[in-house]
Amino acid sequence: MINRRLLKKLAEQNGTPLFVVDHDQLRRNYSQFKRYLPRVQAYYAVKANSDPAIVKTFYEAGASFDVASMPEFRIVYEYIKDMPDKERQAWIWDKIIYANPTKAEATLQELNQYKPLVTYDNYEEIKKIKRHAPLAGLALRIKVPNTGAMVELSSKFGAAPGEAVDLILAADKAGLVVEGLSFHVGSQTTNFQNYVAALELAANLFKEAKDRGYTKMNLLDIGGGFPAPYDDSVKPFRNLAALINRELGRLFPKNIQILAEPGRFMVATAGYAVSKILGKAVRDGKLCYYIDDGVYHTFSGVIFDHCHYHLKAFKRGPTQICSVFGPTCDALDVVSMAEQLPSDLKLGDLLYSENIGAYSHASSTWFNGFAPAKVVHVNQ
C-alpha cells in the first residue's frame, strides 16, 4: 500500500519529480467497477493514462480497451500480437473499440484489417469508413447532456438526436453495419442525472430505428464520465452504479450488450506525484514555493482537465495559504494560487499530491527543456 513513508523513500531513491503508480489500486478500481456494474463490460479509456504497464495490468485483469489513436491501439496490440490470427481477430472485435468519431484516412486504412468496432457521428465519416475501412462495425455517437461535467464534450462530439436514425440508415445504405449507439456524459460527471437522460434518449433511438426498419443494433456504449473521488463532494460510485443498473434494466433487454469507457475512474486514485522545492519567495505578502514539477508535466490537468490537485508536505508545522509554481520560465506554470502548506519549508524539502493518476503525466511535455517526471510502478 502506498503511504507517506514509501513515497518519501521512493523519492530519495529515484529523485524528483516522481510519478508513482500503485497497481494494486488499479486492480481494486477495476474490481469495484465490475462489482457494481456487472452487466457492463469495462473498456479502459487508454488516453487517461497510456503507460504500457498500466495497460498490461488492466489486460491481465480482463479489461477491454477504448483507444482513440493508432499509437494507443498498438500499445494494446502488443499483448495480443502473438495470438493465432483467428483468435486475435476475435479478441480485437470483442475487446477494443476505436472511439474517436473522426479518424484520418490513413488510420482507417490501417484499422480495416482488424475488422474493428469504430464510432462515427456524421455523414462525411460514413463516406470515409466505406472507402477505407468497409470491414469495420459502427457505433453511432449521439449528443447527450453534459450538465455539471468537469470537462464538457458535447460541443465537439455527437450526432444530434434528431438526425441520429438518418445517420444509421445512411450507413446501412452504404453497406456498413451499425452495431449500436454510444454516448459520453462529460468527464468527471457528478450530476448523475446526465446518465438517466442519456439512457432514456438512447432507448428512444433504438425504438425509432426499429420502427424505421433497422433491427441490427445490439450494443450500447455508455461512455465514460464516472467520477473519481477527488473530494467528499463526489458521491460514492455505488450510488451511480445503482442508478445506471436500474435504468439499464428498465430500458434495455438482456440481449443488448452494454459497454463503458471508464478512464479517470480507473487510474486517478492510483497515481501520486512527488516534487522538490527549488525556490522560495514572498510576493505581495504571500509565500510562494517553486517546485520541480508543474503544469507542463504531471500537473498538466490543472490546464487541460480543469482539475485541482492539492499538495501536501512531509514535514509538519504551522501552515498558511501559499502559491505553488512550476519550474519553467513561463507565467502559465502555476500549480496552485491557494495551497495550505507549512511556512517553514526549505529548499530541497518534498511535497506530494494524491489522486493524480488520470490526464496528468499522460500529457507531460519537454517544454523549456524540463523532462517529465520519472515513473515508478509499485505492486506490479
Residues designated catalytic = 329
Phi, psi dihedral angles at 230 (to 5 degrees): -65, -30
Type of residue at 61: A
Whose CA is closest to 159, among 201, 192, 193? 201
Q: Rounded to an integer, what distance in angstroms lies between the CA atom of residue 57 and that of residue 45?
A: 14
**All cell numbers assigned to 307:** 482539475
Q: Rounded to an integer, what distance in angstroms lies between the CA atom of residue 26 and that of residue 43?
A: 14
Whose CA is closest to 268, among 309, 217, 214? 309
Find where cell 506525484 sits: 273
- For 191-204, give one letter per residue: b (16+ CB within 10 A) or e: bbebbbbbbebbbe
